[in-house]
Chains A and B, each alone.
Chain A
């Protein structure tokens, strides 16, 4: 029976292998006589062992996907195009883009009402959540409510 996630497992396994090798290498460079503790109690011991474990599992995932039947392992231009033109991918990209910009703008001196209100309105407009006046009302109301409840009542500083 064809396995749907063959390609994804193959590349994920490779990523786990590479990352875990990096972890093991970094652990090897960690001090082995820190503050007089013996080498077996060094800071890299358990982390290194976990890295080796992850490497083994990543390798198993890769080898298993090679042995299984299913989609081809290579990625073609058509695959990339079909993924990028998918409606779901576009929606995901839009939401992700708005959210990343919002998170990056926080804590940079801009007023909270501006970043949050702007973010909410932008997402609701982008996803056509309703008429413009409703979107503005909801985003302004939500921002004011969040700021008031958390900043004034719960005394939590806003980013």
Chain B
């Protein structure tokens, strides 16, 4: 672990070829454009590019996807600042202070601060990625079927809880729908075709990319085309480079938001949007000027952008160590790694010992490209923001079709994409988060195979599910997560703590 920086430098050196640098520049630019266009998210961008880069060598394909991911999470801040519309859900908190800054003529400094804090957040996240993944990987080597089953359930419950904070039931429903979607097709123990209904193509199940492109891409295209209002940029942009004094002044906020971003990123399925909100909330609580938050506070802007970009590194930690995605775009990245022959998970450190350093080096390049492009192409990016949606969205749909088709060259996948788009649109409209569904599709097979394998190993005895230490911890956290959302449990805890306080004061 202590040789980590050296390994990162070695991998970075290997990546510094002209072709790779062209890929990095282009894909980060594409990511920024995808992120800044309201309606197109990082998940959709990564899913789309996964299909489009399917024929690329694995290393090139993964670096392109990482650059799109980093670029898109950052790019959303541009429309948040200039239009008061978050380009991706991850940038919703950026609107609160970015747009008021733009309104009072500080659009340039707001963009500069957002860019540098996104860069710092990404760098902090990738440092954590490099140093914590091997540690978590070693713990994950102790996981067996019982723990993997509970990990899948835990991921769905926590993800549903945090992505639907006002109505977790809908988050859990979305997660269970995802788990059930993953059950279609031949199962992993006896290859029995479930829910194939005699159709050969259903025997193979639903491929991840068409499902993802449908739920995120098609649903977004439909949602954007339904809207009649077209946003316009009216703000003048002058000086973009941030003042270092501002960054130094808010160093504690940057560090705190980085830590929060990484921790939230590492929780399965909980994405950059939650990281940004929590970082923002903590920054407000800890700020000497909380009254300025929401009215153009530089600290608020820095907190939100550092938090959401630090989340990227955090979200990739469980991808590499447990094969469980920390966020929706990380789920696509996981799928892309599988497609390209890399098997993330506990055995990664044994099968591909340098892969963590390689991924970290890719993130370094992506963050540098994001910083340079973000600070230099300000006016070009604003022009792209003005492309009318009726021109852009059908082209996006055409790309979604190619992306879904390219994986297996099956027209069936186009229909799957369309069907999941039709499912994703009402889900979004009626507050069912898409992230648990995606996580369910990824983890469904893991839950199914490990549950049955565990029972086979114990001749049908289910007690190890509740008696093994790590299993027990996962069960306890899952139960507390569910119960904590019910009113009677909260009343029970409040009454208990009141009684405890009274007893302590008497003592």
Interface residues of A (CB under 8 A from B): 5, 8-9, 12, 16, 23, 26, 30-31, 34-35, 37-38, 40-47, 50-51, 53-54, 57-58, 60-61, 64, 87-89, 91-92, 95-96, 98-100, 102-103, 106-107, 116, 119-120, 123-124, 127-130, 138, 142-143, 146, 150, 154-159
Q: A5-B430, A47-B183, A103-B418 are in contact. Are A31 and B402 (CB under 8 A)?
A: no
Given the complex, which residues of B lie within 8 Å of A44, measured CB to CB? 194
Indicate whether B394 reaches chain A with its CB closer than 8 angstroms.
yes
Q: How many angstroms between the C-alpha atoms of A116 and B401 in the bound complex?
A: 10
Tell me whether B395 and A43 are in contact (CB under 8 A): no
List 8 tightest A-B contacts by C-beta distance, closest first.
A107-B411, A127-B390, A129-B390, A43-B192, A123-B394, A95-B225, A46-B448, A41-B452
Of the candidates A88, A116, A123, the one whose C-beta lies within 8 Å of that of B228 is A88
Question: Cβ of A40: which chain B residues have Cβ within 8 Å of it?
Answer: 452, 455-456, 460
* Least Cβ–Cβ distance between B179 and chain A, in angstroms: 5
B195 at the A interface (CB under 8 A): yes
Q: If the complex has contacts A47-B194, A50-B180, A120-B398, are A156 and B52 also in contact, measured as CB distance less than 8 A?
A: yes
Q: Which residues of B contact A50 (CB under 8 A)?
A: 176, 179-180, 183
User: Is the interface on chain B under 10, 10 to 19, 20 to 34, or 35 or more residues?
Assistant: 35 or more
User: Is B23 in the interface zone, CB < 8 Å from A?
Assistant: no
Given contacts A12-B430, A146-B399, contact A30 B418 (CB under 8 A): no
B409 surroundings in chain A (CB, below 8 A): 157
* Chain B 413-430 interface residues, beta-carbon cutoff 8 Å to A: 414-415, 417-418, 422, 425, 430
Q: Which residue of B lies closest to A120 (CB)?
A: B394
Q: Can you list 14 A-B pairs with a CB-CB distance of less than 8 A?
A: A23-B180, A34-B190, A40-B456, A43-B192, A54-B173, A61-B169, A64-B169, A91-B226, A91-B227, A92-B226, A100-B418, A102-B401, A119-B394, A130-B391
- Say yes or no: A46-B192 contact (C-beta < 8 A), given A92-B222, A92-B226, A159-B411: no
B37 close to chain A: CB less than 8 A: no
Q: Indicate if B162 sits at the interface (CB-CB under 8 A).
A: no
B187 / chain A contacts, CB cutoff of 8 Å: 43
- Asked if residues A58 and B173 are in contact (CB atoms below 8 Å), the reply is yes
Q: With A37-B189, A91-B225 as given contacts, are A99 and B452 in contact (CB-CB < 8 Å)? A: no
Q: Looking at the complex, which one of B192, B222, B405 makes contact with A30 (CB distance below 8 Å)?
A: B192
Q: Are B180 and A150 in contact (CB under 8 A)?
A: no
Question: Contacts of B394 on A, CB cut-off 8 Å?
Answer: 98, 119-120, 123-124
Within 8 A of A (CB), among B208-236: 218, 221-222, 225-228
Contact of A156 among B390, B402, B430 (CB under 8 A): B402
A46 to B409 alpha-carbon distance, docked (Å) = 31
- How far is it, in angstroms, between the C-alpha of A12 and the C-alpha of B169 when the chains are bound? 12
Residues of the A chain whose Cβ atoms lie less than 8 Å from the Cβ of B226: 88-89, 91-92, 95
Query: Quick one: given A31-B192, A35-B190, A46-B447, are A103 and B390 in contact (CB under 8 Å)?
Result: no
Contacts of B455 in A (CB 8 A): 38, 40-41, 45
- Which residues on the B side are within 8 Å of A91 (C-beta)? 225-228
